[in-house]
A and B are shown apart, each in its own frame.
Chain A
Amino acid sequence: MDEESKWIEQSRKGSAEAFSQLVLLHQARVRGYIGRYLRQKDMVDDLAQEVFLAAYRRLDTYEGKVPLSLWLLGIARNCVLEYWRGEGRRRAREMGRVQAELAERRFQRLEQEALADQARAMGALHDCIRKLPEGSARLISEHYFESRSTVDIARDRGGREGTIRMALMRIRQMLRECMDRKLPAEGTA
């Protein structure tokens, strides 16, 4: 029996410690998945905790027919949709028409996309990031992984904030083209 299966078994018997190991193993994927749809950073971890709590309570229903990660993402999707149908849509509207429109389209994709397709897209994206030129990779890392705002990046580089935004858009275009080459046309996220 592998480690994950042992932890699942122990978790079913009530071991919080064992379940914490499962959380550690899968938290990145669940939080990342939710973070893709929820732009309110305060809500992402909150919902992610809801997902793991729900999983803990329903662990007896997990039959092992799909990987645990996928099972967790299924719970995450339902949590995110439920949030969107409740408070999420209202909060998005408070941020303006464009933000509300962006959020609507995001959640429409959530309802339509298959979880497995999203997992493949993430894998392809990781590969494509590794292939970026150094400067572009650095900019992506500063903005998305170090959470530095375009204003701060521009200030440090002595340039204009608009230039940084447009540069990020061009890099995203490059990544997009790379992913299109890697993934089949139907099934890209």
Chain B
Amino acid sequence: MSSERRRIRDLWTRALAGQILGCAEEEELLQAIRDDAALRDELDRDEQLDGLLQAIGRSRKDAGIFVREFTDRLEAAKDATGFVRKIKSRVQGERRRRFFVSKRTSPVGWIALAACVLLALVVFLVVNTEKPPVKPRETAKTETPVVVEEEPRPPVREPEPVVIPPVEVEVAKVEPEKPAPVAVAPAPVVEPPEIVTPPAPVVVETVVVMARLEDVRGEVRIGGNPAVAGQGILSGNGVEVADGSVAVVFPDGTRLVLESSSKLAAVSEGAEGKRLSFTKGRLQAAVTKQKAPMVMTTPHAEAVVVGTRFAAEVTGDATWLEVAEGSVRMTRPNEVTVAAGRYAVAAPGFDAVSRPLARLKPADPRRVEEAIRRGVARIRKRVPELKSYQLQGRTVYHAELMLWTLLHAGVSEGDPDFQLLLKDVLDRPLERTYEVAVQAVVLEELDRAKYRPRLWQCAQFLADNQCRNGQWHYGDPSLASSQVPAEVARAKAGQRFVVKKARDGPESGDNSNSYYAAMGLKACSDAGIVMAREVVERARKCWLDSRQEGGWSYKPAKGVKPTGSMTAAGVASLVILDGLLGYDWKQDRAVAGALDWLARTFTVKDNPGYNPDSEGWSFRFAVQYLYAVERAGLLSGLDKLGKRDWYAEGSASLLAAQQPDGLWPSGNEQVDEIWDTCFAVLFLRRTADALEDARTK
């Protein structure tokens, strides 16, 4: 089978499994299906069979639960039907009386008399006909307001606009066996009005019991007073759990479980649906299908729920939302739909993004998100300075790395710190390989069309700073990169440009700059700025020729051993370069050998092969090593190196190492503390999954 067919099948099986494809992947798969009739037929049949198998699986599940739920629903429907039937019967009786009187009238001379009699009869009947009180029903878990529940179904779309007391009032009177101190006013006696004017609904709503408490454990309060099981919550009131837990159950079966140190500040329900104000703690919700969406607000977010199971946690600085079934639409801080198996975090200064829970497992996703927020808060403190520093005689800037980190941490593009960093990056000339490459990665992710001219400049800079042996060095300004060709400035979507060298760099460079350059080349290529083939081939050849014991070091030299960070960099670089050249990296023995080396040496405690005595290599870069491993792992699709789960181990180590102030210690006096913090955040966020995040945002 050709690699192309394999790839299409891989995309197909991912789509069938419900995995989200990137935009380019979607287009590739759809194009293949459109162009190849045989493939289309094969995949159609595969999908059919997948559907049949899903059907068998579905049919085997939870028969007993399904039948019980249906029986409850049937009982509720029947009860509602009976109730409405009574109303219908009364209305029909009313009509018959009016019709009978009208038929007995005689023309002309008797019309006036008959009309008076009729009117008198009607008035008499209206004044003296009293509605029978609604009989109390047995409380059922699925009890619902009649009209709302049955509205879409023909047999019960009967009621005329006759005023009847809302059922909720009767609910308040039910269960005499539970002597809970429910503060409900007695139901008002609704007299048939002389003119058909409904009583003011406001009066009825203020005494409505919205929900009741069940499974009360520990210290639970309503309005500051101790609460007990069976107690009702009035509209506008809330419940607080100091220590323990409680279930808040609505008549329609919706169930909210509050845990210790949690507060549901207010609960209400009207024609527009349920409204919850959840201000702190943890809540688990099982929401039955709602006629009108339920809206939950927290200090940081607003979420719209139609019928689903989810968990929410509100801390001082963020709201966490995790969906188990169905989906929840977050409308604040921004619109994002969170489907089953995914989560989103709403925090000031961050965009809420839907991410898969499974990606971060077995790490605790909440701890990971919190660590990222703390790290970002620390990074933000450095933004206003925007200072550079000197490293081995060279000026190093932080802005590109910080920008990259904030971007992937989910900081909003409109955020002032983000904008400050972006402006600094764009205002500075292109001078150094590291910064230019990271800038290219950031700009391509932000908006490849808008920043195409700048990306062209980055590509030209990288081309002109490739050394003669194929590596990259720290870089020097490139004249050719300072002028953007007119056709690039005018380019339309989908246009591609090839960039060629205008000059060569020095004889050789180092593998660290070469690694970043490869990332920059990929970013530019994704934006349609393609590097000349000879540049890419020369880079690839240099990686292949400079292997040592299956791995790579910072600068190949006799007696110098490979290190973890550079070997991972080599894997990532070759995967990228092979891809740019159209080769299958999975067939690349150098990649396979390097992955073996990484698997044998993987550790979270240090950068393998680090040698403080090695010339030109003074820095441990343990966190950068982890990030390079992640890059290599995600690009090559490997969740494990050998049997080692690099994300699980790396994230556990980083979570333990983060300082209370949000920083990660670098262990290198010469290297600014922000570097390791940025790379730690990038690792935790799994930055190489950026495309998937952008797709689901």
Contacts and interface: CB of A to CB of B under 8 A. Distances in A.
Interface of A: 14, 16, 19-20, 23-24, 27-29, 31-37, 39-42, 44-46, 48-49, 52-53, 56-57, 94-99, 101-102, 105-106, 109, 121-122, 125-126, 129, 140, 144-145, 147, 149-151, 154-155, 158, 160-162, 165-166, 168-169, 172-173, 175-176, 179, 189
Contacts of A165: 10, 13-14, 16-17
Contacts of A36: 51-52, 54-55, 58
A42 B53 contact: no
A118 to B, nearest CB: 8
B57 A172 contact: no
* A contact patch SS: helix
Interface string B35-79: 000000000111111111111111111010011011101110110
A147 B60 CA distance: 11
Contacts of B327: 42
B14 A125 contact: no
A129 B52 CA distance: 12
A166 B13 contact: yes
A27 B77 CA distance: 19
A42 B340 contact: yes
A152 B72 CA distance: 35
B95 to A, nearest CB: 25
B132 interface: no
Contact of A166 (B9, B29, B49): B9
Nearest to A154: B639
B56 A145 contact: yes
A109 B48 CA distance: 9
A121 B52 CA distance: 8
B648 to A, nearest CB: 10
A102 B47 contact: yes
B299 interface: no
Contacts of B59: 27-29, 31-32, 35
B107 interface: no
Contacts, number: 164
A94 B30 CA distance: 17
B555 to A, nearest CB: 34
Given A94-B337, A97-B26, A102 B15 contact: yes
B649 interface: no
A27 B63 contact: yes
B600 to A, nearest CB: 17
B638 interface: yes
Interface in B446-500: none
Contacts of A14: 78
A166 B9 CA distance: 8
A34 B51 CA distance: 10
A105 B46 CA distance: 12
Nearest to B74: A16
B58 A44 contact: yes
B509 interface: no
B51 A32 contact: no
Most buried by A among B46, B56, B60, B155: B56
B643 interface: yes
Given A31-B59, A52-B70, A41 B51 contact: no
B67 A189 contact: no
Contact of B358 (A48, A101, A151): A151
A126 B49 CA distance: 12
A166 B30 CA distance: 19
Nearest to B63: A27
A49 B337 CA distance: 26
Contacts of B49: 125, 172, 175-176, 179
Contact of A162 (B50, B75, B637): B637
Nearest to B29: A98
B289 interface: yes
B308 interface: yes
Most buried by A among B15, B29, B30: B15
Contact of A176 (B29, B45, B77): B45
Contact of A158 (B9, B75, B643): B643
* B contact patch SS: helix
A33 B54 CA distance: 9
A173 B55 contact: no
Closest 6 CB pairs of A and B: A35-B58, A32-B59, A28-B59, A32-B55, A165-B13, A36-B55
Contacts of B18: 39, 99
A148 B30 CA distance: 27
Contacts of B56: 32, 122, 125-126, 129, 144-145
Nearest to B13: A165
B21 interface: yes
Given A33-B55, A96-B21, A165-B16, 9 more contacts: A28-B60, A36-B52, A42-B308, A52-B74, A53-B70, A98-B21, A155-B639, A162-B637, A166-B13
B182 interface: no
Contacts of B289: 46
A123 B295 CA distance: 45
Most buried by B among A16, A34, A98, A155: A98
A146 B33 CA distance: 31
Contacts of B66: 23, 27, 31, 45, 48-49
B20 interface: yes
Given A32-B56, A42-B308, A144-B57, A16 B75 contact: yes
B490 to A, nearest CB: 29
A68 to B, nearest CB: 16
6 contacts: A42-B327, A57-B155, A99-B18, A151-B358, A169-B12, A169-B13
B71 A102 contact: no
Contact of A149 (B358, B637, B638): B358
A160 B13 contact: no
A187 to B, nearest CB: 13
B326 interface: yes
Interface string B316-329: 00000000011100
A185 to B, nearest CB: 12
Most buried by B among A40, A45, A97, A172: A172
A20 B643 CA distance: 51
B54 A144 contact: yes
Contacts of A48: 66
Interface string B81-120: 0000000000000000000000000000000000000000
Nearest to B78: A16
B15 to A, nearest CB: 4
B694 to A, nearest CB: 13
A36 B63 CA distance: 17
Nearest to B66: A27
B58 A20 contact: no
Contacts of B44: 105
A20 B9 contact: no
B281 interface: no
Given A96-B26, A166-B9, A49 B52 contact: no
B677 to A, nearest CB: 30
